[in-house]
């Protein structure tokens, strides 16, 4: 297969399409349609965790997960300073790690690929890029994608660890992972633009202006791209063109980390509020009307008929029809975050240092594991710290296994007990 490329600038629907690269394939249509990055693979369509907050909707839900407690520890690897939210696909697990051991004078972001059953390397760890902190990894269409704070986006072969392509967004400040959907990568550059890149090549397809500069995750579903900002607005953009479908003002919502957006229970959920009165607000996706506001100091997670909301260490499982609590879990130190909802269980990262797994029907703790020492009683505890050690937090599951970043840059693999 060969390809000819050409670049040009144009405008479509009021959106600037700068330096769009078109690929013309002279091979068979079947070959073109099989390009890595173009289409979701069978492995990622079920029982997989594709990155930060589980998937492109950032809802924390692994719909077809098979993992269930009790678990036993299969392996543990020490990677340096910190481990990102892992990607778990089939019998493999991937993560970006800060490999700085304290002697290098700063972060060193490295991509690792491991065998899920043993934790052994699939290939030698590879440096994501030099001297660029804040990195993460996501998966889509059979490729891995990394991003760094200075706007280096790269695609990697998950079988070999070889780089497929890399692009640099000049002047960017990117703090959250890219979102893969339908053969495209969606992100915002931190300096007032949303972007779409071809997942197969990294070529820019569109650029769209946003209402604000800042750090905010990008979430995506079949209806479009969703991005929110502190005390300004959240945006809903067309997948194909970047044209603004809706912009909804949220002048009374400001606070943590650019108002992370999550899609769940038929609404757009935006986290924010003053530090003394943190909240999460659900907005109607068509009208922008605030449907409800709940006390919350962490981004909510979702499951069938449920939204899980944490506030001051109390995790409540709320019905999405009545918004009454089915059960409440209480942290002994007043801070907790729901990291994953999978196969009838809710995975709570308790700030007391434990991962606690709850039965979704009853809220009863059915398994726990100490990841960190208990904090000193006078320690200031933040329920959800989106970036620790220059990586985003999270846990992953695939094929009955669980993968959890632990203390001091470790990644732990769990299997059936």
Give bridge partners of residue 237 from the DSSP assignment.
225, 244
pLDDT at residue number 5: 34
SS (H, E, C) 165-201: EEEECCCCCCCCCCEEECCEEEEECCCCEEEEEECCC
pLDDT score at 218: 92
pLDDT of residue 303: 97
Q: What is the pLDDT along the chain (417 residues), one digit of tens a residue?
A: 333 333 333 333 333 433 333 333 334 444 445 689 999 988 888 899 999 999 999 999 999 999 999 999 999 999 999 999 999 999 999 999 999 877 777 789 999 999 999 999 999 999 998 778 889 999 999 999 999 999 999 999 999 999 999 999 999 988 889 999 999 999 999 899 999 999 999 999 999 998 878 788 899 999 999 988 765 678 899 999 999 998 887 766 554 444 578 999 999 998 776 667 888 889 898 888 889 999 998 899 999 999 999 999 999 999 999 999 999 999 999 999 999 999 999 999 999 999 999 999 999 999 999 999 988 877 777 777 766 778 889 999 999 999 999 988 999 999 996
pLDDT given for residue 57 in this prediction: 93
0.85 exceeded by the pTM?
yes
pLDDT at 252: 62
CA distances from 45 to 32, 62, 88, 127, 182 (A): 21, 10, 12, 28, 12
Distance CA 308, CA 315 (A): 7
pLDDT at 115: 98
Q: What is the pLDDT of residue 146?
A: 97
């Amino acid at each position: 297969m060969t390809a000819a490329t050409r670049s040009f600038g144009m405008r479509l629907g009021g959106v600037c399409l700068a330096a769009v690269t078109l690929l013309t394939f002279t091979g068979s249509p079947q070959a073109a349609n099989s390009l890595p990055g173009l289409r979701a693979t069978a492995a990622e369509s079920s029982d997989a965790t594709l990155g930060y907050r589980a998937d492109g909707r950032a809802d924390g839900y692994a719909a077809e997960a098979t993992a269930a407690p009790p678990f036993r520890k299969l392996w543990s690897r020490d990677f340096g300073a910190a481990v990102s939210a892992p990607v778990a696909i089939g019998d493999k697990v991937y993560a970006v790690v800060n490999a700085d051991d304290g002697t290098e004078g700063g972060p060193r972001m490295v991509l690792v690929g491991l065998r899920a059953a043993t934790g052994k390397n699939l290939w030698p760890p590879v440096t994501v890029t030099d001297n660029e902190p804040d990195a993460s990894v996501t998966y889509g269409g059979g490729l891995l994608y990394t991003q760094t704070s200075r706007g280096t986006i790269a695609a990697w072969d998950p079988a070999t660890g070889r780089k497929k392509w890399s692009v640099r967004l000049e002047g960017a400040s990117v703090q959250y992972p890219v979102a893969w959907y339908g053969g495209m990568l969606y992100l915002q550059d931190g300096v007032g633009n949303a972007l779409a890149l071809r997942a197969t090549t990294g070529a820019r397809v569109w650029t769209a202006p946003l209402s604000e500069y800042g750090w905010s995750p990008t979430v995506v579903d079949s209806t479009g791209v969703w991005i929110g900002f502190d005390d300004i607005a959240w945006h809903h953009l067309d997948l194909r063109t970047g044209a603004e479908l809706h912009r909804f003002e949220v002048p009374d919502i400001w606070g943590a980390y650019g108002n992370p957006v999550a899609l769940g229970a038929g609404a757009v959920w935006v986290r924010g509020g003053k530090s003394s009165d943190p909240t999460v607000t659900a907005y109607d996706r068509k009208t922008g009307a605030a449907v409800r506001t709940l006390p919350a100091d962490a981004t909510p997670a979702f499951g069938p008929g449920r939204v899980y909301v944490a506030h001051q260490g109390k995790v409540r499982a709320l019905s999405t029809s009545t918004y009454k609590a089915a059960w409440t879990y209480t942290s002994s130190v007043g801070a907790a975050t729901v990291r994953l909802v999978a196969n009838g269980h809710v995975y709570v990262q308790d700030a007391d240092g434990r991962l606690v797994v709850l039965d979704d029907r009853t809220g009863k703790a059915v398994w726990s594991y100490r990841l960190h020492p208990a904090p000193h009683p006078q320690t200031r505890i933040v329920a959800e710290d989106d970036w620790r050690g220059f990586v985003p937090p999270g846990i992953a599951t695939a094929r009955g296994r669980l993968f959890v970043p632990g203390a001091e840059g470790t990644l732990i693999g769990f299997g059936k007990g």
